Structures are given as structure tokens and as C-alpha cells.
Structure 1
Amino acid sequence: MSEPLHPTAATSSAPTAGAAATLDDRYGRTSGHKRRSRVIAIIAAIAVVVVFGAWVIWAGLDQANHGLDSQDVGYQIVSEHRAAVHSQISVDPGTTARCAVQVLDKSFTIVGWKVITLPKSADRTRNVTTDVNTTTRGVTGLIHDCWVP
């Protein structure tokens, strides 16, 4: 019976003030660490706001599409190696536009591709028929994309 049954002040497991300060330093629970964490969080929040603001400006103000709009009207498979794509393209009068026209086969593989240029015109909307050469028989034709060069 060399160990007492009840702990006394000498054998207590509660850390002393000096030991608690050492543990706080070891595990980063100091006031300096809290300040650094707060400063890092504020800087990260400011960075997120700046990036979001730049994206809003780029997406909202930099997208000058000149009223460009395209609509697929139809297509005609002329032969094994040729298709005609009918479309309606609207762009501001006096603006040149380019469009990529594509023909797809039954597995949605592009078998024909052509970039057309629409010269400046006084008319806003134009009906366009594009003949596209194909590598194999196509099953559909459409406007892939239009842009202002």
C-alpha cells in the first residue's frame, strides 16, 4: 500500500498555470495565433470579393455580342457527301458576323464543318443556306456557334 487511494495536492493531474501556458504555446492557442487567424480570414474574404467583382464586370460589361442571334431552320441531306443547312441569323445592321456550321452523323460525330462569313448588311435578320461537304452521310445539320470577329 504504497500509493494513496485519494489524490492529494501533490499528485493532482490538473496542470499548473505555467504548464497550461506551455500547452497553449505548443498547440497554438495564444492570442497572437488568434489574431493571425483572423487577419488571414479577412484577407481571404477580401480576395474572394475582388475575384467575384472582377468576374461580374467581365461577364456583364465585356460581353458585346452586337445583338447576335442564330436559329436553326432546317437541313437537307443532299447526298452521301453533302448537306445543306438552313438557318436564320440576326445581327446589328452594319456588323460582320461569322458562324460555324456543322453536320453530324447518327452517332453525333461531326462529319462536316464550315465557317461562313456574313458581310455587313442593312438588314438585321438574314436567311442563310450553307452547303457543307461531309466525310460520310450526315443525319442533321445545324449552327454550332456565331461570333463577331
Structure 2
Amino acid sequence: MTTALELDERYGRIRRGRTPWIIGIGIVTAAIIVFGWMTFTQSMNSVDADDLGYEVVDEHSVTVRFQITGGQGKDVACAIQALDAEFGVVGWKVLEIPAAGEHSQQLTVTVPTVAEATTGLVNTCWVA
């Protein structure tokens, strides 16, 4: 009489144990841990900026008021821009903000322009 093991060997069927399942679960767990760590480090280095207002001082400068949130205890840099009526950039300034113990800061900066601006705003902020 032919046994199941002899049939498996004859026709090339392989009996698999639990090893592939354990390896698969280990790979999925490692991927979840890596993704979680990347998400955590990204959120620790994020800085949000909100425009609070602007004032066109004259045809060669605009003052921009804004608030940054995040980056507590780290140096932050923000790119501030001035735009004309056709949304062209007529002024640009990178403001470097030293580390502060506060979670949120309100700042005011004057941006020099090459033509009269109609608005001023924060383009982006990042941890420096």
C-alpha cells in the first residue's frame, strides 16, 4: 500500500510547516514598526505656518505677520514671499528663527521688493 508521504515525494508535493507563516508575520511586524517610526520622526520635524496679515509699507517693502507651530526646541527657517497683482513673486526672504521653548510663536518680518507688492505670505517653513 502506498502512503501519503510516498505519494507526496513521487508527485513533488511538499508538506509545509509553520515556518513560512512565522517568517511572514515577522516581516509584516517589522514593516509596521519601520512605518510607525518614520511617521513619528516626520511629525517631530514638521512646522506649520499660518498667515495673520500683511501691510504694504511702500513700493519697495511689505510687512508680513505670521504664526509658526511646531519645531519646539529646534531652529526653524521660513521662506516669506511678496506677490504682485498677477501673483508674480516680487520679493523673497528666508527668515531663520532660533530655537524657542514655546510650541507656537508669532513673528513679523519686512520683505524687500523689486516692485510694488499686493500681498505677502509665508511660502513654507522647515526645521533648520
Q: Paired residue for 1:98?
A: 77
Deviation at 1:69, TM superposition (A): 1.2
Provide the secondary structure at the position in 1 that maps to 2:42.
coil
Q: Paired residue for 1:130?
A: 109
8 Å contact kept, 2:55–2:62: yes
Between the two structures, name the one with larger relative contact order (CA 8 Å, sep ≥ 6): 2
Q: Whole-Å Cα distance in 2 between the matches of residues 77 and 65 of structure 1?
A: 35
Q: What are structure 1's unaligned runs of at least 5 residues? A: 1-52
Structure with higher Rg: it is 1
RMSD of the TM alignment (CA)?
A: 2.2
Q: 1:110 to 1:59 in 2, by over 3 A?
A: farther
Give yes or no for the alignment of 1:77 onto 2:71.
no
Q: Whole-Å Cα distance in 2 between the matches of residues 120 and 75 of structure 1?
A: 24
Give yes or no for the alignment of 1:144 onto 2:123.
yes
Aligned residues: 95
Q: Could you tell me the TM-score, scaled by structure 2's length?
A: 0.66
Q: Which has the higher strand share?
A: 2
Q: 1:93 to 1:142 in 2, by over 3 A?
A: same
Provide the secondary structure at the position in 2 that maps to 1:72.
strand
Q: What are structure 2's unaligned runs of at least 5 residues? A: 1-30
